Amino acid sequence: MTRKSKIGLIGAGWWATANHLPVLVERDDIELASVCRLGADELQQVKTRFGFTHATEDYEELLEIPGLNGVIVASPHTLHYEHALAALKRGLHVLCEKPLTTKSHEARELVAEADRNGVELMVPYGWHYSEFNQEAKRRMDEKAVGDIEFVMCHMASPVRALLEGKQFLSTGGGAGDNMFEPAADTWADPVIAGGGYALAQMAHSAGLAYWLTGLEPRTVSALTSSPGSRVELYDSFSVRFTNGAIGSFSGAGALPDNQRFQLDVRIFGSEGVMTIDCDRARLELLRHDGDNFKMDLPPDAGEYFGGGPTTNFADIVTGNSSINWAPGWAGMRAVEMIDAAYRSVESGQTESV
């Protein structure tokens, strides 16, 4: 019998039970070794439904499970750092939900700890698993637009109810049947959530933009607004990168509930411009020398692939793959920008990363 690799889950709430666990439970090379969440009744429900070997309300007890190979961290945003760092220090591969952390120094420490221990740190960015986004990444790595001079990145989501602490009714981007409903305070309480739309959703789009470009943010000037909410619904960031390029990152958490995500990244460089459009499934390269490229895509090519990162993580944990399509450093760059943006909103000035 082939040995199964052991994965633990910290934070078995709405998204983990609707997205990660349905993928893992179908794998015959993965043992769901331990699950951790608060609430004894809910914990037992998860253990029984997905066949976990062990269950606990103490994440440190989970990390002591013999032979553990990897851990998924899906706890509230402000707990990601504590839970992921503890797992990385034990030499475990970690898949940590977005945002990677809520503070820049925490994100940098997680990336450094993973490097020190020779393990993978992943952030589950589902759009990284679209064929055309991987093609865009390949071409960007080959300097398809030349030296990057300007980046535009926009995202909008049907999550207003979540950010206002109301019942989540969206069919736009959620998972299928929900075992648990989203906990309102983990989205709408500014202390527990750590922020609003930028952390909750722009961590996605910024992670994609930074992964595609490899840029590093240097300074950020930001505006946000919060109509009807304790956390922000709208974000507008002006960014200068370390290479001298500039960028514009925007976000809106108020699409109608029956709509899907908008996500659009445009990268301008010395030799051309690349357009990556997920909601309209478009990849186009326009070059000054006329060597243009446009990928023929079906209308649904840009759908969010929630199972992609989970499958990738399982393949890494089992040794079936060494490719991390959603590396921790991309999540770190997103957090560096968002952290500086929130500080800019407080100070009313441009803030350094």
Give the per-residue pLDDT at 80: 98
Whether 222 contacts 341, CB under 8 Å: yes
Give the per-residue pLDDT at 186: 87
Q: What is the DSSP secondary structure assignment for residue 257, as one 8-state letter?
A: T
Whether 62 contacts 10, CB under 8 Å: yes
CB atoms < 10 A from the CB of 258, how many? 10
pLDDT at residue 336 tops 90? yes
In this prediction, residues 3-22 reach a mean pLDDT of 96
Strands 217-225 and 234-241: antiparallel
Q: Taking Cα atoms as reference points, which of 158, 156, 178, 155 lies closest to residue 166? A: 158
Query: What is the per-residue pLDDT across 16-29, written as a single tens digit (0 to 9) for each?
Result: 999 999 999 999 99
pLDDT at residue 216 tops 80? yes
In this prediction, residues 317-323 reach a mean pLDDT of 96
pLDDT at residue 345 tops 80? yes
184 band by pLDDT with thresholds 50, 70 and 90:
confident
Give the per-residue pLDDT at 172: 44
Give the per-residue pLDDT at 169: 61
| Strand order, beta sheet including 293-294 | 293-294, 282-287, 272-277, 262-269, 148-156, 246-252, 234-241, 217-225, 351-352
Q: Taking Cα atoms as reference points, which of 204, 264, 261, 190 lies closest to residue 232? A: 190
Whether 101 contacts 81, CB under 8 Å: yes
> Buried (b) or exposed (e) across 109-127, using 16+ Cβ within 10 A?
bbbebbeebebbbbbbbbb
Quick one: 263 exposed, middle or buried, by C-beta within 10 A (0-12, 13-18, 19+)? Answer: buried
pLDDT at residue 1 tops 80? no
- On whether the pTM is more than 0.85, the answer is yes
Whether 8 contacts 34, CB under 8 Å: yes
pLDDT at residue 327 tops 60? yes
pLDDT at residue 174 tops 50? no
Give the per-residue pLDDT at 173: 44
pLDDT at residue 180 tops 90? no
Whether 174 contacts 303, CB under 8 Å: no
Radius of gyration of the chain (CA): 20
Give the per-residue pLDDT at 71: 98
233 band by pLDDT with thresholds 50, 70 and 90:
very high
Torsions phi, psi for 277 (to 5 deg): -125, 110
Give the per-residue pLDDT at 171: 47
- High-pLDDT (> 90) share of the chain, %: 91
* Helix spans in the chain (H): 14-15, 21-24, 40-50, 59-63, 80-89, 104-117, 131-141, 160-163, 185-188, 190-193, 197, 203-213, 307-318, 328-347
Query: What is the per-residue pLDDT across 252-309, written as a single tens digit (0 to 9) for each?
Result: 999 999 998 999 999 999 999 999 999 999 999 999 999 999 999 999 999 999 999 9
- In three-state secondary structure terms, 225 is strand
Query: What is the per-residue pLDDT across 56-99, written as a single tens digit (0 to 9) for each?
Result: 999 999 999 999 999 999 999 999 999 999 999 999 999 999 99
Q: Taking Cα atoms as reference points, which of 193, 198, 238 lies closest to residue 351? A: 238
Give the per-residue pLDDT at 177: 62
- Please give the torsion angle defined by the CA atoms of residues 214, 217, 222 and 225, in that order, rounded to the nearest 10 degrees: 40
Query: What is the per-residue pLDDT across 104-152, written as a single tens digit (0 to 9) for each?
Result: 999 999 999 999 999 999 999 999 999 999 999 999 999 999 999 999 9
170 band by pLDDT with thresholds 50, 70 and 90:
low
CB atoms < 10 A from the CB of 66, how many? 6
In this prediction, residues 36-64 reach a mean pLDDT of 97
In this prediction, residues 196-204 reach a mean pLDDT of 97
* Mean residue pLDDT across the chain: 95
Whether 352 contacts 219, CB under 8 Å: yes
Domains and CATH numbers, the chain: 5-126+309-326 (3.40.50.720), 128-302+333-352 (3.30.360.10)
Whether 173 contacts 205, CB under 8 Å: no
